[in-house]
Chain A
Amino acid sequence: MRRRHFLTAALSMPFLGTAGRLYALPAPSAPRLLIVFMRGAYDAANIVVPVSSDFYYAARPTLAIPKGQALHLNNDWGLHPALKDSLYPLWTKAQIAFVPFAGTDDLTRSHFETQDTIELGQPVGGSRDYRSGFISRIAASLAGSDPIAFTSNLPLSFRGAKPIPNIALNFTGKPAVTGNDVELIQAMYQGLELAPAVAQGFAVQEEVYQVISAEMQAANRNAVSPKGFELSAQRIAILMRDKFNLGFVDVGGWDTHVNEGSADGYLANRIGELGRGLALLASTLGDDWDNTVVIVVSEFGRTFRENGDRGTDHGHGSVYWVLGGKVKGGKIAGRQVGVTEAALFQNRDWPVLNDYRGLIGCVLQKAYGLNSGKLGTIFPSVQPDDLALI
């Protein structure tokens, strides 16, 4: 049953709870797209490590990942060892690419301002329309898209003319408000601006509960159940496999001003959890991983030199990731520059050579065949970069 039908049917009949897949799969030609936002500006230079740069080791006396411990990507780059069993296998299968020197043209170095910049996807410097996020515009441009935010709050990127559901992945229990009360509540909202959100809230909670509970019952005999982001990622995979095809999730805790650690320590633990979650997402999607693209972004990079507290401060250029079963990965993509002191932006940060809009625009163009007119409504006056990833 597609949601279009479900929305009207939900009002008139009790939900048919059955195990297994309840919904038609998204059309095979339309790949699933998941955007993962690392809020807090992760220290990209310590995750995708410029191992051939002497300056890297000079600038980070306590933080640098020792050469021998970085996982070999190519002669210039290595991967953080905490990703050895999760993302590195995807690299060797050529299912993940890294795009260094990536980011925005927002120079505020403010987390919140720059997160807003990315989520709105509007030109920097103009007046901002806070009711129009870029994922909402993607949803409006793609016929057959079924979007969802896997967040307890609706992120800015999803704001738009049409409501998009959000669902907190740690509360996917059986809906408690049912039957007659659903009808009466919807009647109170009839004709009001919030009416679609109310209707969708009931429908999605029920859908998510059905999909997740069926899957979890089937999987319960497998011993250890995942926690934290891994649990979220598993649920995302189930929901995107069976139901939704345009998703968003955010992961926080990257603002490492103090004691961020190196091959071990705080950042290693955080990135390890994220990596395990994404690997679990890929394996849970199974065959559908081939028809999935995940883009991982963060608002900016951090100062290239470590600060006085074994941490890093707000910087500029970051490293974005693109992964999926059919992504042309196993490479460091996009425009690049040698990692030297002279190459630093304002003598402190990585420069941005690959705009996030060009990167995401490229994926949209290749994966969905969006023409430049439609792309222009998503990211005004931005040319997609051909990073040859899809």
Chain B
Amino acid sequence: MRIVGPASLLSVLLLVACAPTTTAPPSPPIQPQFHAVAESSAALDTSPTDIAVLNRLSWGAETSDAQLLRREGLQNWVNRQLNPSADDGLPADVAAQITAMEIGQKTLVQVNDEVRDMRDAAQAKKGTPDFDAGQKAYQQKLNNLAREAATRSLLRDLYSRNQLKEQLTWFWMNHFNVSQNKNDIRVLIGDYEEHAIRPHVLGKFRDLLAATVVHPAMLEYLDNFQNANGHINENYAREIMELHTMGVGSGYTQNDVQQLAHILTGMGVNMSGQPPKMQKSQRGPYFGAGLTLFNPNRHDFSDKLFLGITIQGAGLREIDQAVAILAAEPATAYFVSRELAEYFCCDAPPASLVSSMAATYLQSDGKIASVLRTLFASSEFKASLGQKFKDPTHYAVSALRAAYGQQVILNVQPLLNWLNRMGEPLYGHETPDGYSMEEAAWSGPGQMETRFEIARMIGLGHSGLYKLPQDAGPEPAPPPLILQTHYYEAIAPNLSPATVSALNKGQNPADKNLLFLASPEFMRR
């Protein structure tokens, strides 16, 4: 492949061109062990507002983050959440576990090479008795890669000190949803989260959008790798406008969708490990980075009229231009602000709130942290504290944080299972719209009953979280003692008399845990 230095391209595309490589030798796998973490004995005298803000900006309030917030003061803590340091403050064994992962040790290209070799080797055995075993090993490899990604993501949700950043990582993964169930996206999903989404979650929306436009996970998921001059596939173009930027009904036309599809022609992937088998193009350079390939031979070089703006046929630069136009659209500012408000504040956020966030978006060149600052300073945000119904991921992760604080789990599989049961599997939403953030989507009778069953399992304490998957025998973990944590002491004054009365009737710690995690207060954040 002829890699051309794309001097005129967006910096984000350059960034992809120098996607991180690591030469460190693989470390031996970490064998985490169960160990109890002692809480600081100092009681928390955190104010109810502090705890409520912590609960909203984090994956769920727990003792050690509450202590941190108290030491720093609310304002400093919020500022740090909006400007997180590079150090996520993960417990050392969690950080080591993440570093040791295959997806942390190898580049996406290396991983893809290995996967492809496995697949080819398995295919070559077709018709022999070894075929099934090869296929199974190949599928297992893909599952392991996706599971590593899910593990990394959930460990950060549980233990990172940059809690807002981790919430936003989930939020933007959901906004730019791809499903790991399509094609071989299990190979790509970890890299997508790590390199396309997570570095930009508090930055400029344009950079975030651009990073998704050039990522192979998105290009495969929404079929743009098939979109070529003379073979137009408008799937991705439509969803960019409808779901990623402007929102449906915001004024664009079917013609704009088609024009964007033409602009996106040639942007695809090369998973083969070989230089693309193509003639030298007279029209412009190939652009390759990682598994992404812009192929000028597949691009429509005619001029386009997109959202009333003429875009001259120029190859990759057209995509750049389209991304900039879309990111600067007032409709995008409003649509993105509304989604943020829905996630971090309330169902059906008032138009006045969304408009002021959108104004910040336009003034700040789409800086997400600034938009959030406007939201957090609003009266609507303050009024909403404790009211937002948790979606299943918030429910399960906050329950583990409340129950176990910083006592690191050894196995995320039970947590993944619970998310499946509650209908919100990680990386598992099949369609590009992502999961709903509204209460009505998650509070049906069957869903409430499922939550109570999960509350019971967590409350009992032996659900497999503290046992390595390969270990047989009973789990060494006793039931958590939620009602004896400082976190509980801090929120207890806010519990309703009905909840307190039920908790008093709980017959043992496991029962009390169940009742607390099943309480109306714990369903909200």
Binding site for B on A (CB under 8 A): 39-40, 108-113, 130-131, 149, 152-154, 158-159, 163-168, 171, 175-177, 180-181, 184-185, 187-192, 194, 196-202, 204-205, 252-253, 255, 257-258, 307-309, 311, 313-314, 346
Contact = CB atoms under 8 A, between A and B. Distances in A.
A188 B515 contact: yes
Contacts of A177: 449, 452-453, 455-456, 514, 518
A131 B444 CA distance: 13
Interface residues of B, number: 55
Contacts of A175: 449, 453
Contacts, number: 167
A163 B254 contact: no
B475 interface: no
A194 B448 contact: yes
A171 B223 CA distance: 33
5 contacts: A112-B431, A165-B445, A192-B520, A201-B452, A308-B230
B449 A202 contact: yes
A133 B157 CA distance: 35
Contacts of A163: 444-445
A167 B446 contact: yes
A175 B453 CA distance: 8
B73 to A, nearest CB: 34
B448 A201 contact: yes
A200 B511 CA distance: 22
A108 B248 contact: yes
Interface in B223-280: 223, 226-228, 230-235, 238, 242-243, 248-249, 254
A110 B242 contact: yes
A168 B421 contact: yes
B450 interface: yes
Q: Is the interface of A mostly helix, strand, loop or mixed?
A: loop
Contact of B444 (A39, A197, A253, A346): A197
Contacts of B231: 307-309
A37 B202 CA distance: 38
A131 B440 contact: yes
Contact of A185 (B232, B443, B457, B515): B515
B431 A40 contact: yes
B446 A152 contact: yes
B6 interface: no
Interface in B467-525: 496, 498-499, 501-502, 505-507, 511, 514-515, 518-520, 523
Given A185-B502, A188-B515, A194-B448, A109 B254 contact: yes
A188 B502 contact: yes
A166 B501 CA distance: 30
A197 B248 contact: no
Nearest to B348: A130
B431 A255 contact: yes
A196 B511 CA distance: 23
Contact of B431 (A39, A131, A158, A185): A39
A187 B498 contact: yes
A153 B453 CA distance: 16
What 9 A-B pairs have minimum CB-CB distances, sorted nearest first? A308-B231, A154-B444, A201-B449, A152-B423, A201-B445, A200-B445, A166-B446, A309-B226, A165-B445
A233 B430 CA distance: 21
Nearest to A314: B238
Nearest to B230: A308
Nearest to B438: A130
B518 A197 contact: no
A302 B453 CA distance: 42
B381 interface: no
A182 to B, nearest CB: 9
Contacts of A311: 223, 233
Contact of B235 (A149, A187, A313): A313
A309 B223 contact: yes
Contacts of B447: 152-154, 166, 201
Nearest to A154: B444
A197 B443 contact: yes
Nearest to B521: A188
B446 A185 contact: no
Contacts of A166: 444-447
B365 interface: no
Nearest to B233: A309
Contacts of A158: 444
B376 interface: no
B431 A258 contact: no
A171 B452 CA distance: 14
Contacts of A192: 520
B36 interface: no
Nearest to B261: A313
A194 B520 CA distance: 8
A355 B234 CA distance: 26
Contacts of B228: 308
B433 interface: yes
Nearest to A252: B430
A301 to B, nearest CB: 15
B441 interface: yes
A110 B248 CA distance: 8
Contacts of A109: 238, 254
Given A112-B433, A165-B445, A175-B453, A181 B511 contact: yes
B427 to A, nearest CB: 16
B442 interface: yes
A307 B232 contact: yes
Contacts of B443: 154, 194, 197
B248 A113 contact: yes
Contacts of B233: 257-258, 307-309, 311, 313
B240 to A, nearest CB: 12
Given A154-B440, A257-B233, A309-B231, A198 B431 contact: no
Contacts of B520: 188-189, 192, 194
A112 B433 CA distance: 7
Nearest to A253: B430
A141 to B, nearest CB: 21
Nearest to A107: B254
A130 B444 contact: no
A313 B230 contact: no
Interface string B10-21: 000000000000
Contacts of A187: 498, 501-502
Given A111-B431, A171-B421, 12 more contacts: A110-B242, A168-B446, A168-B450, A177-B518, A181-B456, A188-B496, A189-B498, A197-B445, A204-B445, A204-B449, A314-B234, A346-B254
A176 B451 CA distance: 11
Nearest to A308: B231
A188 B453 contact: no
Contact of A184 (B431, B436, B515, B523): B515
Nearest to B523: A194
A119 to B, nearest CB: 12
Nearest to A114: B248
